[in-house]
Amino acid sequence: MFDNTCKFLAENFPDDFATWLLGKPVTLTKLSPKELSLEPIRADSLILMQSEELILHIEFQTLPDEEIPFRMADYRLRGYRLYPDKLMYQIVIYLKKVTSKKDLKLVKTNKFKLENTTHRFQVIRLWEQPTDLFMNNPGLLPFAVLSNTSNKNSTLQEVAAQINNISNRRIQDNVTASAAILAGLILDQAVVQNLLRRDVMRESVIYQSILEEGREEGREEGREEGREEKTRQIVVNLLKEGASIDLVVKATGLTVEQIQQIQASQQENQQE
What tens digit of pLDDT does each residue of 22-55 get? 998 888 888 876 766 655 555 556 788 999 899 9
Average pLDDT over every residue of 183-191:
83
Give how far Cα 207 sits from Cα of 150, 163, 173, 182, Å. Answer: 28, 16, 9, 12
At 257, is the pLDDT very low, low, confident or very high (cuts 50, 70, 90)?
confident
246 pLDDT more than 90: no
CB 69 within 8 A of CB 117: no
CB-CB contact of 37 with 78 (8 Å): yes
pTM of the model as a whole: 0.72
Least confident residue range of 30-44, 163-177, 206-220: 206-220
pLDDT score, position 128: 96
CB-CB contact of 48 with 91 (8 Å)? no
197 Cβ contact list (under 8 Å, min separation 6): 176
Q: What percent of the chain has pLDDT over 70?
A: 80
Q: Are 157 and 181 in contact (CB under 8 A)?
A: no
- Tell me how far apart the terminal alpha carbons of the chain are, to the nearest angstrom: 44
* Arithmetic mean of pLDDT, 68-90: 92
Q: What does the CA dihedral 174, 177, 183, 187 come to, rounded to 10 degrees?
A: 160
For residues 257 and 213, the model is more confident at: 257
Domain boundaries, the chain: 1-128, 129-203, 207-271
| For range 85-90, the mean pLDDT | 94
pLDDT attached to residue 214: 47
pLDDT of 14 over the 60 cut: yes
* pLDDT band, residue 211 (cuts 50/70/90): low
Higher pLDDT among residues 248 and 226, named by residue: 248
* 241 or 182, greater pLDDT: 182
Lowest mean pLDDT among 88-92, 96-100, 181-185: 181-185
Q: What is the mean pLDDT of residues 137-151?
A: 94
pLDDT of res. 7: 85
> How many other CB atoms are there within 10 angstroms of residue 45's CB atom?
21
